[in-house]
Structure 1
């Protein structure tokens, strides 16, 4: 019984409380349906950023990059967007992949997107090791030449830690030996491909590549900096303009990010604004940066890129935005709490709606924005749609306002459009500056709560149908994990995020990560909610399922028994959530070899389901699947095959052939038939 963990209490009854399969044979844990044959993709460049038309070629650095990456199998550390496009121009048959490496969640998301772009068979199977899948393809002749860019690798720990599979009761893992290895080992060193790393930390670069393969990208020289200013502001008309541009570049310490922010501000002010005026403003603002730097406690000073000039240019632009368009400043404040990459537009729209609702209710900023609903039970893929004119006008107003805010933030080089235009990212230093400004102004908790409120309403449950959206929101849930709020209502929203993210991590087979989030959710809910509150028992049930997944059967059983007693008392013996708990407890019995106890509960569950839900309800079919496997384990092979065949026929009609549960039943039935000869 490959305990696939029951999350039905949070959404729809049983929810695969267990897929009957061997602990030591994960074959029965969420099989993906057979994938249709697909036309292989042709090599292309997969980078979420457009080519920078204002790129200034710094000859020494560019030449070093070309030399360092010329040899097959090489790894190079540098900043690389333009290099990727140049490589694509010179070698159209070469794959170019951009992998976000700021944290584990973004890293895995990039690998899944890579597999999707290449159309790798098996990529849609959640139990497939996506890193092994990509690694095997990169090593094979099918891949051809390739370049992988690991961007923003400033913390290498998640790449070096050994990945472990699911544990059984004895502590052994159900995964194959290929799973028990660090993520870094999946990046091959082979003749057909190269890896290029961008990092601000030399110590990390030295851990990954040879010293001669490190290309240091520091400040610009005077000529390159003036060229960048000219590209951003237009041709410099005379020697005086060139001299002023040089003075501006010097004041900004020749740092590209600071120059881009400053020229964005100048360009946005119009024809009457000059570099001279900006220089004067820069000098006046110099004394205002101290508080921001002091708040950070030295972290900004340690980052070679975080010079005073970046703080100054950010502060000048932000002060202007705050006065001229407060809603754009609000948006930047909100985005500073997200993972800095892959910020979805849906989440930003939710922030606008939340802010507007707060204003409509005549509540002060940062007031009570929390109105809990029951979306956790019914899922929350889409908000309710009443098709009213008011709703249509409201949605239009949200979109229009958001577009104008985004345009201003992009104009000032605070955020960047990514991929298909439905997500955004911001520079780490812009995000850091924004959060420290909020802290200095005493607004940190307000925006933390707003972020958590909006994220809790957008992150979906871990149902199979939501996996794609879960993948997008997981990095932001992980960002929220370290931002535990103080307010009670906000804390409950935070627990919802931990619950749903933990559920999804469970479905992805990441038990240790799921455990941390599930336990955080349970601690908050058991402390703040009444004994009979269903969300309290949902959190307990999730933790028990994580324990089952990790092979901690005694701890799992203790929690499952407690949840079952609560539900019998508060909901009654035939309520779907009570039946879920019975099914999950039966799964725990099965995993410990207590087949008769499991059978007794499963027979009771299936009879309740048939009466309460109907013979073809998905939850009834789950209980049929589980009882069939228990009978097979007891040696009742023919009874098991007959019941599983009924389950498969009904699942095919109700769920479709492509659903993982349908494929689970089909695979089991085929295996049993083979065993019988």
Structure 2
């Protein structure tokens, strides 16, 4: 067979038969680069070293194959700690690889791994169908690459630990051999030749990765650290009091401090630290506006929002999707005083949708017996515990040791309320909060003081959160009335006056001026005025409610008699002693007949009459009545009851006027010691007694003011 030639004899192609081996040039393997770092953030010159945390990281990463998790609330600086640690490792040991993976979701994680594979020239990376998680994981297990640290940043989704990606599951269904057969992050976490640092907001994820032994909880900064951060960001060498107050208002949260510094710097000189502090304290609305400010930060993930409120709302959104009941619990908690939220306040069972009944009045028993062993109660308790665990895992709430008291950050509460307002759920949860508290807060009598004292901060919180719906407004007015009563009893004049005033205003709208609820709030407001020394205002209100009570209930009704007794006390405080005496005698006789001689209201009227006699110089008559009241109250209530102590103090003053100085001093001293313990040194009557005793003891002439 002749060959076929193209062109001259030294060029062209020849077609023929060749029985030999044809050799092609093989692709040369790529040389591995020198150890490098893929940390996406530059060193922050303003970084404040948190030495205790760095020591923990050092100790745990010194063990080969360690896996540690930095876990904490969004904005506490987990990512910044990990980045700074990586920079320090590279500075000390340039031969150590440092790899940074954005792991907030599968897509970002895969992209980070492919970028890592390209930079480290991992063989097989060009095959875009390859399982990149498995490919990188196998490469990390190669001891020849040397020391390395792998950071998995923002691993909050447990799906990356528990299930293959959707595309990999489809690959398995189609028979593709390269499809993932295990959860994606497992390929990386199985590597044992280097150290893995994970940052996460979810303690549940953290425990699954590392267990308690290698979990590092990142809390907000210490005060000194927070001040250093603020000074660094503002370039201020010395701290000032307004700076201290600002980091306290921001609860020592690094991201919030950086946000504030960015805002102040951007608005300078028209905004100072003190001006920013004033704005953030002004109202929730202003605080939200400031805490939503986006400061451009080179040391945070470029895809992450630089607003601490938005950062926390990401966690809340996730919880709302995967566990709505936990989101509901957090919604309810966001209205209480942030410290001392007892489980009992959160467990009040009442359908908020029906709104069929207001919470029971103070004269009704609010408790109900339940079968604690029933299956429904067991399920409810388990759900509640799971909800608490979920919120605690995300550091949105804290549990005090093994107690049943929960706490949360004030700024987290603000974030949740902002979310609720945006989604049209604010009034629903505010109403539930008021209902639960109204059902739990008792009357302000001495026997319930311990519970009142523990719940009163929540009542003050409710006072600043006026609801909009009619049902909730009625419960709100009831709650404020009870809170005002306790505040009056315990001597908190300002709180008593304000709560009684707001309660009265609402009840006027609902029940009119002559309604029983309105009369009660008006009478309590008058008492608050009198305790504050505003006698003319007290008299005006008492005369008003007395006429209404006479018309509605009659002159001898116990409520009417009580109003008359209070008006008589006001007359005495105004110096109208004869007028006070006539009214007190009338009330005393009617009370003895209607209520009985040892009824608490009767005894109070007798004690007040004794004070009037004392003011008139009728010492023997005053002493006789004082002793009668002291003896009866001791027998009826005990020696340590506030009313008993008040009557003992009255007797001491009578003895002082009678010239029995030693007896008066001894009695008043023992009385005051107990009043300090049981009531409060700040109570106006207790403070008055203490000042009088001091004057008596130093021998100064005592003048009854």
Q: Which TM-score band applies after superposition, normalised by the shorter structure?
A: 0.5 to 0.7
Q: Which residue of 2 aligns with 1:640?
A: 622
Q: Which residue of 1 aligns with 2:252?
A: none
Distance 1:391 1:574 in 2: 50
Matched, 1:262 2:244: no
Bigger CA radius of gyration: 2
Unaligned runs of 5+ in 2: 1-46, 57-74, 89-99, 101-136, 157-197, 211-284, 661-705
CA shift in 2, pair 1:570/1:476, >3 Å: same
1:485 Cα shift?
Answer: 1.2
Residues 213-612 of structure 1: pairs in structure 2 closer than 5 A: 219-220=80-81, 222-224=83-85, 242-245=149-152, 262-264=201-203, 266-267=205-206, 296-301=288-293, 308=306, 314-350=312-348, 353-354=349-350, 358=351, 367-369=353-355, 371-372=357-358, 374-377=360-363, 383-385=366-368, 387=369, 389=371, 398-418=380-400, 421-612=403-594
Q: Is the Cα–Cα contact under 8 Å of residues 370 and 453 in structure 1 kept in the other structure? A: no
- Range 400-409 or range 522-531, more displaced: 400-409
Distance 1:597 1:377 in 2: 34
RMSD (Å), alpha carbons = 3.9
Q: Which residue of 1 aligns with 2:683?
A: none
1:526 Cα shift?
Answer: 0.8
CA shift in 2, pair 1:448/1:560, >3 Å: same
Give me the TM-score of the superposition, normalised by structure 2: 0.53
SS of 1:243's equivalent in the other structure is strand
1:299 Cα shift?
Answer: 2.9
Distance 2:403 2:207 in 1: 22
1:658 Cα shift?
Answer: 0.8
Q: Is the Cα–Cα contact under 8 Å of residues 295 and 440 in structure 1 kept in the other structure? A: no
Give me the TM-score of the superposition, normalised by structure 1: 0.55
Q: Is the Cα–Cα contact under 8 Å of residues 518 and 542 in structure 1 kept in the other structure? A: yes
CA shift in 2, pair 1:295/1:631, >3 Å: closer
Q: Is the Cα–Cα contact under 8 Å of residues 264 and 412 in structure 1 kept in the other structure? A: yes
Q: Is the Cα–Cα contact under 8 Å of residues 265 and 317 in structure 1 kept in the other structure? A: no
1:262 Cα shift?
Answer: 2.5
Distance 2:625 2:435 in 1: 45
SS of 1:635's equivalent in the other structure is coil
> What are the Cα deviations for residues 486-511 of structure 1, in whole angstroms up to 9, with x where unaligned?
11111111112222222233333332
Residues 42-61 of structure 1: pairs in structure 2 closer than 5 A: 60-61=49-50
Distance 2:376 2:405 in 1: 21
Distance 2:495 2:440 in 1: 21
SS of 1:301's equivalent in the other structure is coil
Q: Which residue of 2 aligns with 1:45?
A: none
1:302 Cα shift?
Answer: 7.5
Q: Is the Cα–Cα contact under 8 Å of residues 152 and 199 in structure 2 kept in the other structure? A: no
Q: Is the Cα–Cα contact under 8 Å of residues 338 and 479 in structure 1 kept in the other structure? A: yes
Unaligned runs of 5+ in 1: 1-57, 64-78, 83-199, 201-215, 230-235, 250-258, 272-292, 359-365
> Which structure ranks higher in relative contact order (CA pairs < 8 Å, sequence separation ≥ 6)?
1
Q: Is the Cα–Cα contact under 8 Å of residues 606 and 620 in structure 1 kept in the other structure? A: yes
SS of 1:484's equivalent in the other structure is coil
1:246 Cα shift?
Answer: 5.7
CA shift in 2, pair 1:265/1:314, >3 Å: farther
CA shift in 2, pair 1:221/1:412, >3 Å: closer
1:625 Cα shift?
Answer: 1.1
Q: Is the Cα–Cα contact under 8 Å of residues 326 and 391 in structure 2 kept in the other structure? A: yes
> What are the Cα deviations for residues 430-473 of structure 1, in whole angstroms up to 9, with x where unaligned?
32322222122111111111111212222222222233322322
